[in-house]
A and B are shown apart, each in its own frame.
Chain A
Amino acid sequence: MRSWFRSYLLLVRWTALRMRFLLPLFLIIQTFLAVGIVIGFAYLMPEVDPATALYLSTGAPTLGLITIGMVMAPQLVAEAKSEGTFAYNRTLPVPRTAVLAADLTTWLVTGLPGLVLGLVTAVFRFDLHLHVSWLVVPAMLLVALTSTTVGFALAYALPPAITNLVSQALIFISLMFSPINFPADRLPGWLQAIHHFLPFEHMANAVRDTLTSPAGGAPALSFAVLGVWCVAGLAITLRVMTRRD
């Protein structure tokens, strides 16, 4: 266990060193995205009522986490695969789980500043009063973890070129066709049904309900569905990481 932790810390250091030039870039992209949703999307609507404002403000950080986990992370994993980093790491005497844990840690930390900035922008723009529950921390962690593990699973299982295409498609699906920035009942019935199984709506619910603490309490179902996606993502990623030709 001690050697696992030692490997983990060293790998975090290595990954952080590798990514330190990209970090400011991620922060800018995430902030643009959050500001774009909060301010830009409001232009699409003639009048922003409090309910819409709430959806936009809590949707923005959710989308920020999805962008980091399902777009940026898989694209960098795809690049690492093409560059040979993935193959090289496989030759090192470190547990595969430590490699995965170190990568996840780096990505979670990467997403944090943009998340906070997005929220702050929204609160100022709409003059929102949030009732933040303590569950917001586990909720955000779970959303970030799920989107990153699903992103990793895609990137490890698919060839790099396909990974880039899929991750681009995912951002459009989550931005336009997922009930993140708007209520689910605006979607056609069949799409609503699909979203019961996909992680996007549950991610939005987990973030929104822990930021606003509605009467119904924490969204247990959303937490459970996200947990399943998270475990599936982890399982696929570890399977690919430990596979031998």
Chain B
Amino acid sequence: MLTIENLTKTYRRGVRANDGIGFDVGEGQVIGLLGHNGAGKTTLLSQVVGLVRPTSGRITLLGRDPVAEAAWARTVCSFQPQAQAPLTGVTARQAIEIVGRLRGGGRKQVRGRTKELLAALDIEEWADSPAERLSGGVRRLTAFCMAVVVPGRLVMLDEPTNDVDPVRRRLLWEQVRALSATGHAVVLVTHNIAEAERTIDHVVVLDHGRVVATGTPAALAAGREMHLSLSTPADPALPGWAHTPRREGDRLTVTLAAADAAAAVTWAGQHTDRYSLNPASLEDVYVGLTEGNHDAVLVP
């Protein structure tokens, strides 16, 4: 559905925000775009939706060129920007319904879908209050509803869970899965890696404008499926199976392959009796990848 090839964007002041980026998004797929602040994620999305013009490279959306046909791109692509949506003077329900109508939805269809979304995200109690008085989290959820009330074939969400409480974040992830189940492709920028892990089909990790890793969460974690944490003030010599060592105070953590779990338990037991071995999260993998220890799934 969406193909990005060798995409580079250099801003006028010389900042290279995207540097030869490439990946594909298929129908019904949820892509997680991970990366530090300033890694180039927002620039990438802005180019797909026609707000920023690429310096070089190619974007293909549903077989057409969204750079040349920006107005068309905005009709097939729903976008929740990172900045808070403008809600001055309107209620959440009004904002969602008007955007739904602007996206081409019929009056009845939009009204029904708005009601459904407000209920699904459990924000009905604020639906008819002036939106400028709402908390940041409810405003963010409102912006999410505005993006998906009449979703385009491609839905792009830039940090949709910022300021949102843990319970409603879970409800939002369910809605993202529901979109993918109905054939919509979703590109998701998030820092809530641990939570998004269950939602994402495919991960693209950006660092300084370049793709440093790509694959399913499981593939990215290959060779580092486990996460060993031990409390020891000393710095023991690390065996060969231990990757991405990190220290926070007394706590030392490393990642390792599942096959080395038994060896890891023996080794940890020799140094301390306070240790734990858990499946690694996508977050552990991500931190490892963006810290310069790119010893796993590197993209050439």
Q: Which A residues contact B (CB, under 8 angstroms)?
A: 3, 7, 10-11, 13-14, 17-21, 80, 83-85, 87-95, 244-245
In addition to A80-B86, A83-B88, A92-B103, 8 A-B residue pairs with Cβ atoms within 8 Å of each other are: A10-B101, A84-B85, A88-B83, A93-B102, A244-B52, A244-B70, A245-B12, A245-B53
CA distance A21 to B53 in the complex (A): 38
Question: Interface on chain A toward B: helix, strand, loop, or mixed SS?
Answer: helix
| Residues of chain B in range 95-151 having any CB-CB distance to chain A below 8 Å | 98-99, 101-104
CA distance A18 to B91 in the complex (A): 10
- Contact with B50, one of A11, A14, A87, A244 (Cβ below 8 angstroms): A244
The chain B residue sitting closest to A89, CB to CB, is: B86
Q: Let me know if B104 and A93 touch, CB within 8 A.
A: yes
CA distance A137 to B46 in the complex (A): 43
Q: Which B residues contact A (CB, under 8 angstroms)?
A: 11-12, 46, 49-53, 70-71, 74-75, 79, 81, 83-86, 88-90, 94, 98-99, 101-104, 152
List of A residues within 8 angstroms of B101 by Cβ: 10
- Contact with A92, one of B12, B53, B88, B99 (Cβ below 8 angstroms): B99
Question: Interface on chain B toward A: helix, strand, loop, or mixed SS?
Answer: loop
Q: Let me know if A10 and B102 touch, CB within 8 A.
A: yes
CA distance A19 to B94 in the complex (A): 14
Q: Let me know if B51 and A83 touch, CB within 8 A.
A: no
Q: Let me know if A93 and B51 touch, CB within 8 A.
A: no
A84-B89 contact in complex given A92-B102, A93-B71, A245-B52, C-beta closer than 8 Å: no
Q: Let me know if A88 and B74 touch, CB within 8 A.
A: no
- Contact with B84, one of A7, A84, A89, A95 (Cβ below 8 angstroms): A84
Q: Let me know if A7 and B81 touch, CB within 8 A.
A: no
Q: Let me know if A91 and B51 touch, CB within 8 A.
A: yes
List of A residues within 8 angstroms of B89 by Cβ: 17-21
Q: Which of A14, A19, A90, A91 has the most CB of B within 10 A?
A: A91
CA distance A87 to B152 in the complex (A): 19
CA distance A85 to B87 in the complex (A): 8
Q: Which of A17, A19, A20 has the most CB of B within 10 A?
A: A17
- Contact with B98, one of A13, A20, A85 (Cβ below 8 angstroms): A13
The chain A residue sitting closest to B95, CB to CB, is: A14
List of A residues within 8 angstroms of B52 by Cβ: 244-245
A245-B86 contact in complex given A87-B81, A91-B79, A92-B102, C-beta closer than 8 Å: no
* Chain B: minimal CB distance from A244 (Å): 4
* Chain B: minimal CB distance from A184 (Å): 42
List of A residues within 8 angstroms of B51 by Cβ: 87, 90-91, 244-245
CA distance A20 to B103 in the complex (A): 24
